[in-house]
Amino acid sequence: MFNNRIKIKELLAQEPAGQQVTVMGWVRTFRNNQFIALNDGSTNNNLQVVLELGKFPEELLKRITTSASLRAQGVVEPSLGKGQKMDLKATTIEILGDSDAEKYPLQPKKHSLEFLREKAHLRFRTNTFGAIFRVRHALAFAVHQFFNQKGFIYLHTPIITASDAEGAGEMFKVTTLPMDGTAPKNEEGAVNYKEDFFGRATNLTVSGQLEGELGATAFGEIYTFGPTFRAENSNTARHLAEFWMIEPEMAFCDLEDNMNLAEEFIKYIIGYAMQHNAEDLQFLDQRLAEEEKQLPQDKRSEMGLLDKLKFVVDNQFERITYTAAIDILRESNYNKKKKFQYEITGWGMDLQSEHERYLVEKHFKKPVILSNYPAGIKAFYMRQNEDGKTVAAMDILAPGIGEIVGGSQREERMDRLTTRMKEMNIPEEELWWYLDTRRFGTVPHAGFGLGFERMVQFVTGMNNIRDVIAFPRTPGSAEF
């Protein structure tokens, strides 16, 4: 029977008192034919399993190699060595799975993150990725706990959709029609999607927001948490083709309510990880500190990872308008000395990540909520302000990565919404179901989207978004 084992994390939390236990895990190292460092993934800390010299056959000892899996039974005793408080003095060892030490690619040494991305199927077995993915789990659990406690309904919105919520057009097509040029054509010579599986052109979703609004106008408050896709050829440390989004939608809610909820939400999930994953975050904090020692002084963070997380949880976010942000950036020494890669051209420009990070890291030195953006750079569904120039949109900017949340009060007025759709060439007939929410009991409502991987990046201190998702999907890469 396998489920009589104790997890190493649970065992290490106890005091050694001669307990008889069974542990299972993977070998990290084996020294002197006597000391096994065993890890089962429940913690980065290994359990030292001690073999009495001469007690175990030579054939068995040869099979105790890096990443071999085994079951060990024995007695827990206080450790005589440094670095651990207990040893498991083994009475029996059983090899569950052999590992060819010469062919196993992850040797007991430090590997680069670039190398580990090429071994994404095995990188979970390293300390760094063990810590990252335990933190990712904690953040995901905290997301559901936060919204559940507030009475939100968890809505599963479709992954296959016929609508483009963002209007950007960078979508992956879904079809069962042949791709060899023999697909049926219509009278105009284009592919006839009426003969496709769904009877129309469909794509992988870029957002569950529009469907989320349908739920909010029935249940009051909903949230989605699922995969989204962008066919954007951005081969950067900040972009993925497949990523996870959290998108709450709230009826009877305006822009200020939206900002309040988003700030509370961010603080809650970070606080949850700090409370429940302290050991992993301490490891990641030390890892980041070591990494930053290699950087020039002016490129280093002013705060360590744990200090940064505590700072976010303990401080009120700064709230300013887009217009005020443009003024700050225009008058900044960074701009006057031409240190920005993208020049501050003035009101109406789309802010780049470097501008967002300047506001957060240099000017305010805290997270910032920007609101009331120019209508021309925002989506059709955002509520138009009375000034005729701006919309009730908001972005939350975090140190290290810039925008982490984007949201808005939605345009609930039918005439304003349809006029905006005409201006942006979005056909009403394709979104008739969406417009029905404005025809039948429209209501002020708002929502936001949080890119989950960017949040995991922020909490773990990882610089590349490919290191916080199990199997990154990027241009030219879908191997695992």
Q: Are 330 and 344 in contact (CB under 8 A)?
A: yes
Q: Which of 216-225, 287-296, 300-309, 356-365 has the highest mean pLDDT?
A: 216-225
> How many other C-beta atoms can be found within 10 angstroms of the C-beta atom of residue 57?
9
pLDDT per position as a tens digit, 84-108: 899 999 999 999 999 998 899 998 7
Euclidean distance between the first and final Cα of the chain, in Å? 32
Q: What is the pTM of this model?
A: 0.94
Fold adopted by 8-104: OB fold (Dihydrolipoamide Acetyltransferase, E2P) (2.40.50)
Q: How sure is the predictor about 132, in pLDDT bands with cuts at 50, 70 and 90?
A: very high
CATH 3.30.930.10 fits domain 125-171+206-467 = yes
Whether 132 and 462 have beta carbons less than 8 Å apart is answered as yes
pLDDT recorded at residue 153 = 98
Report yes or no: 229 and 206 within 8 Å, Cβ to Cβ.
Answer: yes
Listed ranges 172-186, 258-272, 389-403; the one with the highest mean pLDDT: 258-272
Which residues, 6+ apart, have CB-to-CB distance to 47 below 8 Å?
8, 11, 12, 23, 25, 37, 38, 39, 84, 86, 88
Q: What is the mean pLDDT of residues 145-152?
A: 98
pLDDT tens-place string over residues 333-346: 999 999 999 999 99
* CA distances from residue 285 to 53, 125, 136, 303, 451 in whole angstroms, order as listed: 39, 19, 15, 10, 22
Q: Give the count of beta carbons closer than 10 Å to the beta carbon of residue 333.
A: 8
415-450 tens-digit pLDDT: 999 999 999 988 999 899 999 999 999 999 999 999
Spell out the domain ranges in the chain: 8-104, 125-171+206-467
Question: Are the C-beta atoms of residues 167 and 199 closer than 8 Å to each other?
Answer: no
Q: Do residues 40 and 7 lie in contact, with contact meaning Cβ atoms separated by under 8 Å?
A: yes
Q: Which of 404, 298, 309 is nearest to 356 (CA)?
A: 404
Residue 168 clears pLDDT 60, i.e. is over it: no
pLDDT at residue 169, as a whole number? 60
Place of tokens 């009101």: 347
At 167, the pLDDT band (50, 70, 90 cuts) reads: low
